[in-house]
Chain A
Amino acid sequence: MTLGSVEVPVRLYTAVEDRAVHFRLLHERDHVPVKQRMVHPETGEEVPREEVRRGVEVESGRFVVLSEEELAALEPAPDRTIEVLAFVEPERIAPPWYDRPYWVGPDGADEDYAALALAIGRSGRVGIARWTMRKRRYVGALRSEGPWLMLTTLHHLGEVIPRDALGPAPKVSIDPLEAQLADQLVSVLAVNELDLDAYRDEHRERVLALVEAKARGKAPKLERPAPKPAVASLADSLRESLEAARRHVA
């Protein structure tokens, strides 16, 4: 990782864990996983991988074929540098830009790494970095998390529809009483520290319970929670909610 003339050897570790329940597609008759093949739509004949060509559709029904050599020439050259280009105020990067997080660990020179993490933490700023990984160029945000550094890939320009592109929200007259009640309700429901551990993917757990029950040869228990009702005037609803929330908190 380079910051101007300063270099710190680092390694990246993916910080995302895939917990999705993955199913395989099986042929019903023999329960063998199916394979995907590419065939010519007219003849139905399989086209072996080495004969498949790749093309960009420039107009409907019209392709420009790009050869493997041409595509390979466009790939970025392998490079093992994460180049930090600037440190900016963290508010400059809105949540929609964030993609995948990676932990940055030291790769020798532990002291320099620790010093960098500390320095970035003290600056209160976020680094904008670019690097090449798996034949693609990435841009990312480098921030400190306690004694560690985290690098999160960011989306490219054009991939995010920013808030600015939507223009100002139209003026809607808001009753001061409603605004006050809403403020109170939010503050009653607000906590200072976020305890995300309280949230679980219950749906994923039910799907897993279903397949595990079936694997043990048991009839699965199929259950689902019930829906809820809706209500009347905004101010009345806010007031009632506020009272209910206060009772609940007290």
Chain B
Amino acid sequence: MPDGAPAAPRAIWSGTLTFGLVSIPVELFTARRSTRVPLRMLAADGTPLRRVYVCPSEEREIESEEIVRGYEVERDHYVLVSDEELEAVMPEQSRDIHLRRFVPRDRLPIAAFRRSYYLVPGGQSQRAYAVLAATMDRGGYAGIATFVMRGKEYLVAILAEDGILRAETLRFPDEVRSPDDVGLAEPPKKPSAAAVRRMEKAVARLSSDEIPLAPFEDELSEAISSLAEEKLARGEDVVEYEAAEPEEEEEALEPPDLAQLLKQRLASGEPDGDRPRRRKKRAA
């Protein structure tokens, strides 16, 4: 990757966590990063290709101003929906995560977990943040709420882990299929004691205190990287091109220095001088 400096972490959402009448300004940072090696599409001369939109009936490239959004109501029949219309049905409380319900955290269904974000206190909210995190840690509770991010509504579980709050977005119940939904309607018949004993032995033999780490390696990405490195060392199939403008959209492979940011934000009430600017609120 170009230049190894860790990317400054960028908040994906900023808003307010409300707990009763207490408001805690927070920012969300993703707890994930991609390890996939991006494969770019290139022309025969090695130039990265550009993606364009083409109208199939006119066979010509069209600009983004000429493109509208359509919802297919029946085959080849679309209802046009404008940005303004979509924005108008976007909820206004998009800046709040309102904690009105708590459950023991072991009651959260595993199948619902979607994505994970760390919550970092913004402004002068360190104390309220610490009080909430300590309370949730003590009781083993998760808070449940809905909120809006990037124009979509999310169901979220707020969890505390050693003084730091995390938001786990959850699939809505209608987004998770039951065994019945996938055609597994008949529960298996009662197994014989001998069969159960055999399986219990098999499980016991594999019981371990440690998680085996080997299967967690991203073998394919590693193999792609090392093949590219080997070919680079041999000078084989290396192509260069004049970068017209740097690609902004590629994800940084270096982890953002979230630890540093958290330390600063949690330690003092003073807003840090070079903290990343909050991104402008999108017109709701």
Contact = CB atoms under 8 A, between A and B. Distances in A.
B199 A96 contact: no
A186 B80 contact: no
A182 B131 contact: yes
A92 B211 CA distance: 8
Interface string B165-179: 010101111111101
Contacts of A165: 255, 258-259
A154 B203 CA distance: 20
A123 B203 contact: yes
B103 A193 contact: yes
Contacts of A31: 68, 70, 78, 80
B55 A27 contact: yes
A120 B176 contact: no
Given A85-B206, A158-B218, A204 B78 contact: no
A78 interface: no
Interface in B234-272: 236-244, 246, 255, 258-259, 262-263, 266-267
* Main DSSP-derived SS at the B contact region: mixed
Interface string B20-37: 111100000011111101
B51 interface: yes
B66 interface: yes
Contacts of A3: 199, 202-203, 205-206
Given A27-B67, A61-B242, A241-B19, A114 B190 contact: yes
B139 A47 contact: no
B14 interface: no
A98 B113 contact: yes
A166 B238 CA distance: 39
Nearest to B139: A186
Contacts of B126: 172
B196 interface: yes
For A38, A106, A152, A226, the residue with the greatest tally of chain B CB atoms inside 10 Å of its CB is: A38
A202 B111 contact: no
Contacts of A152: 110-111
A152 B166 CA distance: 21
Interface string A134-170: 0011010101011110101011111111010111111
B23 to A, nearest CB: 4
Interface in B156-200: 157, 159, 161-164, 166, 168, 170-177, 179, 181-184, 187-192, 195-196, 198-200
Contact of B229 (A28, A58, A103): A58
Contacts of A18: 175
A38 B174 CA distance: 37
Contacts of B263: 167, 170
A133 interface: no
Given A56-B225, A57-B40, A161 B217 contact: no
A116 B103 contact: no
A34 B55 contact: yes
Contacts of A212: 73
Given A182-B132, A199-B172, A238 B259 contact: no
Given A160-B32, A201-B153, A96 B166 contact: yes
Contact of A214 (B16, B22, B81, B177): B81
B174 A17 contact: yes
A224 interface: yes
Contacts of A240: 20-21
A194 B21 CA distance: 23
For A26, A96, A139, the residue with the greatest tally of chain B CB atoms inside 10 Å of its CB is: A96
Contacts of A116: 199, 202
A231 B243 CA distance: 52
Contacts of A44: 61
A27 B52 CA distance: 13
18 contacts: A6-B198, A18-B175, A32-B56, A36-B52, A51-B43, A56-B39, A63-B46, A85-B212, A112-B191, A114-B195, A115-B196, A117-B188, A118-B199, A210-B85, A210-B86, A237-B21, A237-B22, A241-B22
Given A27-B66, A88-B209, 6 more contacts: A87-B207, A157-B213, A200-B172, A215-B73, A224-B88, A238-B22
Interchain residue pairs A-B with the least CB separation, the first 3:
A241-B20, A169-B163, A114-B188
